[in-house]
Structure 1
Amino acid sequence: MLVLGSDHGGFLLKQEIKKHLEERGIAFSDVGCFDENSVDYPDIAKAACDKIVSGECELGILICGTGIGISMAANKVKGIRAACCSDCFSAKFTRLHNNANVLCFGGRVVGPGLACMMVDAFLDAEFEGGRHQRRVDKILALEENFGK
């Protein structure tokens, strides 16, 4: 299952992503926010990442105004590899080469058409492993060594 989350800056785009996922028949859990009232993106990132770390969800999509803040917050959670992307190539290759488990982008940066294409690129790609596994292992070692 996929987990979705946004702050108020990403709420409207998240609604478009939800429609797209429903059309594709992809199950998701929405951890908020549920309207355009101001919320703090670290709270949304934590709620979504908790579902990934617990194993309830495999992947996540997080949206704030720029995608930057929510990706920074998500990356503070041990076991999360969040990537802020604004193009399909990066969204695809962050899964293929970095084994990212969270895609982040900005509701004020990316339009709905591109966002849906990025979601597809991210979800349809699978980690290639091989030489990339060594690099992901080094990322995990950094996480362990610095006590996340």
Structure 2
Amino acid sequence: MPGINWEKLMRNRLAIFTVAALLPLTGGASLAIAGQAVAAPPPPVVTVTGTVDDCDDDASPEEVTIATSKESKTDDTGVKSSNKYSVNFKNIPKKGRSATATVTCVGGSTYTQDFKINGAQGTTPVTQKVHLEP
């Protein structure tokens, strides 16, 4: 009957214990790395700005409201005095989004204009100029 090779047996046991000790550590590291995944950043701000014409009845504009399927913004500050508007959108994807501008004039007359708001292609905020007219 051959003798037991104690040296080989001890090396095998040491290898088994080493693997058993390392497996939980590497699995935990994998979970820690997976847990650090970050959601995509929101799209950058898109500013829509421009000039506003009077309504068909020659009434001066009072406010501009621009609406998309996700958000609606109104500017009534500079419209009355300068016929200019500026609104910021935070949810415009890269492919852009359809929008409708509604201009409300003194006396309640209105007109609308449809256009597309172009999304930013990178991470830098962008400005789009749109002239509104009846």
- TM-score using structure 1 length: 0.26
Structure with greater proportional strand content? 2
Q: TM-score, normalised by structure 2?
A: 0.28
Q: Which has the higher contact order (CA 8 A, sep 6+)?
A: 2
Q: Which has the larger radius of gyration?
A: 2
